[in-house]
Structure 1
Amino acid sequence: MTVLATGPGTAERPALPAAVPLAITSAGVVSAAGLGLESLGGVLDSGGIGHSAPVGDDADDYPPLGVRSVEGFRLRDHVGRKGTRNLDRLTGFGLVAAKLALASAPAGAATDRTGVVVTTSTGSTQSLMDLAGDTLLQERPYLVNPSRFPNTVLNCCAGQIAIWNGLRGANVTLAAGQASGMNAFRHARMVLSLGRADRLVVGGVEELSAPLAWGWHVSGTLAEGTPIGEGAAAFVVTTSEAARAGGAGIAAEVLGVEVGFHPASRGDRAVAVAEHVRRALDRSGVAPGDVTEVSPGSTGLVGVERAERRGISLALGGLPPVRDVTRAVGQCYSTAGAMQVAGLLAAWRGDPADRPRLALVTAVGHDGNIGALVLREGGGA
């Protein structure tokens, strides 16, 4: 790996301070491919796809749109029946992904110093629709079931993850569209740097429903044949320094992370993507030629996918091998970034290499949000 020289920079590109590396020590995934990194890795390795039919009571109400859904999911099968009656599907995904991640995380960390950073778009769209419908259809509006109201709050999933696992560190929910995953890791770095927690459960969660599918369908923002997906990915994260000091194994390190906002009205998005990629690489202290593969996040997004890939090529001097999880698990929107990272970890685990690989993870949304993240396999230098 080529380490960039530190120095004063140039007039065109001033030197950027190095980022504090974050260590991913374990991961948990719930996707259309199944539960766990092994299931996801198996589907990616075979070139297959996850479950591709709608599920649930509203399965017949979906528009003619491809989906990647989590088949046969029942929260009580994974955490027991107690306390699950009023939890929605989205929260269930998050709880199981977090449980899987925490179960394989290094032991000994204090729960009061463990926090949560979760990304989502609106929380559970289905829960919002159900509660709104009840207020109109019940004989009296106030006869809605109050125990279902918490599911309509954006930070419900993050709160439940903390409650079920006794985590009392910082608890954060972020919504930044397609770039939510990049924002989650960037925020995690800030929380750890400020001492608000010693480790974090970082991830994203989304669920499918007929109303959400219709929203995608009528928006015209998806290219023909692009499936939408659901699920959750969660990672136990701390600083690389702390992980090494505690003797923890490191699955991967998050090096530079850059996020920004560049709406179409500001001009060529590809140029903005390239700039974010360059900044992320600069903060990581590595050269463009060190990137062994890329995981783009806007696959299937009309008017965005091409700009993202062109921006990557501008920054790297070409497009390295692409590892895309969208075909397997669907376009997961605000949890796409977490799924991209999970896909890389799963693929790397199933295909060992002679030396650590370095991946670029990117995201570009129609709303103008942009993100770039540099992920290094294992804990090597």
Structure 2
Amino acid sequence: MKRVVITGLGAITPIGNKVESYWKNLLKGVSGADKITRFDTTNFKTDFACEVKNYNPLDYFDRKESRKLDRFNQYGLIACEEAIADADLQFENLNKDRIGVIFSSGIGGFETFENEILNFFENASLPRFNPFFITKLIANGVAGLISIRHGLRGVNSCPVTACASSTNGLIQAYNYIKWGKADIIITGGSEAPITKSSIGGFNAMKALSTNNENYKTASRPFDTSRDGFVIGEGAGTLVVESLESAKKRGAKIYAEIIGGAETADAYHITGTHPEGQGAYLAMKQAIEESKISSYKIDYINAHATSTGLGDISEIMAIKKLFAKSLDKITISATKSMTGHLLGATGAIEAIATCLTLNSNMIPPTLHTKKIDERIPANLDFSLGRKTEKNVNYALTNSFGFGGHCAAMVLKKYTS
């Protein structure tokens, strides 16, 4: 089996439009939540979200190209190109048959779908659709576009597992390279779900926070007063590579992937298992594959969406798995700042986990004032401040509607 490392990072998020600003603002504890600017929210229960700030597509694409791309396509391409540049991938010197793209989205071109359908019914007497309707809509769009743009002929895929999507993609990229089926894979996720139908739909199922008066602090994982997640948008990309390939190229290495697991709660289409059965299995199997003991884990980047059941089920799983080492683990919930980017969330959180391993700085959990009484008192959530700590092994979790569970173990790279 080949060793697998991460050699490039790219991100566009509600708190930074590049990896450098994203990471800086995570450590500073900047909230990405603000009032929605995309549409009139007068009749909606939630009027805030974590939008990407200061974004103009014409800064990245010409006018003709931008019209062919849904916002989620745009975000994904931007993050991919940053990661490719960061990894210094000179494709003309590499075997493109062994370079792949596994890039996810939970819901794809939701904005395009909404606009086209509304336009259809408003003009039903003369029904017309944009010729790019389908290509802007399909969730696998970024995976295809990146391979076409750079002529990458290796594995090309788009795992769609709701909010676990990009972590599933990262695990699959790790497996392909570990098994020797690819040398390099560009992987990640992109999402642009801040639309009328998305906000309305999540409101209808009572998943979103409606704390409109305190929107800046509404994402408050583990807090007794949490009332739902804050939706976000953006993209994250990681270049995953065999150690052999990375050394041959002289690439910088952010972290080593040593284990990953994909499981299911097998419980409910939206609700997590009360005792976190799927989460427990995913973390347990990821650690077992890593061939380390659970005691070795120093840091967990929790899924922690700020929902009533989800936060508790994840902690129940952590409590069970790390019963003998709870007091040595630091946990943080970066969604308290970025909001929940659905299918892209695993990618940006994997980036944060890589940078934690590199810097020994753990981002804070913000806005949490009173911990839910069901949570063990000896857990360190890095509340309200970044934490300086020697982190050698880290775990990152993602869970999605449908009961999808994914966990990955990253290790500080040592030759």
Which TM class, normalised by the smaller chain length?
0.7 to 0.9
Give the Cα separation in 1 of the matches to 2:18 and 2:279: 31
- SS of structure 2 residue aligned to 1:179: helix
| Whole-Å separation in 2 of the counterparts to 1:63 and 1:41 | 31
Cα 1:269–1:124 shift into 2, 3 Å: farther
Structure 1 181/350 Cα, relative in aligned 2: closer, same or farther at 3 Å?
same
2:98 maps to which residue?
Answer: 113
The one-letter code of the counterpart of 2:354 is: L
- In structure 2, the partner of 1:91 is 73
> Which residue in 2 is equivalent to 1:215?
201
Structure 1 residue corresponding to 2:287, chosen from 260, 281, 285 = 281
Identify which of 46, 49, 56 aligns with 1:74: 56
Q: Deviations over 1:150-175 (max 9, x none)?
A: 11122122222223333332221111
CA deviation profile, 1:202-238 (whole Å, cap 9, x unmatched): 0011112222112222211345263111100001111
The code of the aligned residue for 1:291 comes to I
Aligned to 2:244: 241
- 2: distance between equivalents of 1:54 and 1:343? 25
Report the Cα offset of residue 310 of structure 1: 1.5
Residues 255 and 411 in structure 2, CA contact (< 8 A), matched pair in contact too: yes
**Structure-2 separation of matches of 1:315 and 1:185:** 23
Distance 2:243 2:42 in 1: 47
Tell me if structure 1 keeps the 8 A contact 2:206–2:228.
no
Contact conserved, 1:202 with 1:237, CA < 8 A, in 2? Answer: yes
Q: Distance in 2 between matches of 1:257 and 1:284?
A: 8
Please, which of 261, 264, 284 is the counterpart of residue 261 of structure 1? Answer: 264
**Aligned mates of 1:339, 1:84 — CA distance in 2:** 24
| RMSD over equivalenced CA pairs, Å | 2.6
Give me the whole-angstrom Cα distance separating, in 2, the residues matched to 1:247 and 1:276: 33
Residue in structure 1 matching 2:135, options 129, 136, 150: 150
What residue number does 1:3 align with?
A: none
C-alpha contact 1:58 1:209 (8 A) present in aligned 2: no
TM-score (norm 2): 0.79
Corresponding residue for residue 44 of structure 1: 26
Cα 1:161/1:46, change in 2 over 3 Å: same
**Residues 107 and 263 (structure 1 numbering): CA distance in 2 closer, same or farther, change over 3 Å?**
closer
SS in 2 for 1:304: helix
Q: Confirm whether residue 294 of structure 1 aligns to residue 303 of structure 2.
A: no
Counterpart residue type for residue 231 of structure 1: G
Structure 1 CA distance for aligned equivalents of residues 202 and 403 of structure 2: 18
* Counterpart position of 1:335: 344
Distance in 2 separating the partners of 1:88 and 1:61:
25
Contact map agreement 1:55 1:71 (CA 8 A) in 2: no
- Other-structure match for 2:145: 160
Which of 83, 98, 120 aligns to 1:101? It is 83
Q: Match of 1:295, as an amino acid?
A: N
Distance 1:112 1:61 in 2: 51
Task: Single out whichever of 27-36 and 341-350 deviates more from structure 2.
Answer: 341-350
Structure 1 position 280, deviation (Å): 0.9
Aligned counterparts of 1:357 and 1:53: Cα–Cα separation in 2: 39
State whether residues 34 and 48 of structure 2, in contact with CA within 8 Å, keep that contact through their aligned partners in structure 1. Answer: yes
So what's the TM-score if we normalise by structure 1? 0.86
Q: CA deviation at 1:139?
A: 4.4
Distance 1:141 1:359, change over 3 A: farther
Give SS of 1:135's match.
helix
Say if 1:285 and 1:348 are closer, same or farther in 2 by CA, change over 3 A: closer
Sort the Cα spacing of 1:137 and 1:236 in 2 relative to 1 into closer, same or farther, 3 A: same
Cα distance in structure 1, aligned partners of 2:102 and 2:133: 23
Q: Deviations over 1:106-151 (max 9, x none)?
A: 3444345322111111201111112222332224464222133311
User: Which amino acid in structure 2 is aligned with residue 132 of structure 1?
Assistant: I
2-side partners of 1:147 and 1:225: how far apart? 35
Determine the structure 2 residue equivalent to 1:312.
Answer: 318
Q: What is the aligned-residue identity percentage?
A: 23
- State the alpha-carbon separation in 2 of the partners of residues 172 and 61 from structure 1: 38
- Whether 2:276 is the aligned partner of 1:270: answer yes
Q: Count the aligned residue pairs.
A: 362
Tell me the amino acid that sits aligned with residue 108 of structure 2.
G
Provide the secondary structure at the position in 2 that maps to 1:143.
coil
**Partner-residue secondary structure (3-state), 1:73:** coil
The alpha-carbon distance between structure 1 residues 106 and 315, as it changes in their structure 2 partners (threshold 3 A), is same
C-alpha separation between the residues in 1 aligned to 2:126 and 2:403? 38
1:95 shift after superposition: 0.6
> Matched residue of 1:70: which SS?
coil
2:283 corresponds to which letter in structure 1? V
Q: In the alignment, which residue of structure 2 is the partner of 1:55? A: 37
Correspondent of 1:363 among 382, 398, 415? 398
Rounded Cα–Cα distance in structure 2 between residues aligned with 1:53 and 1:346: 29
Deviates more, 1:134-143 or 1:281-290: 134-143
- Paired residues for 1:175-214 under 5 Å: 175-193=160-178, 196-207=181-192, 208-214=194-200
In the alignment, which residue of structure 1 is the partner of 2:223? Answer: none
SS in 2 for 1:228: coil
SS in 2 for 1:84: helix
* Secondary structure, aligned partner of 2:245: helix
Secondary structure of the 1:229 match is coil
Partner residue of 2:331 out of 315, 322, 326: 322
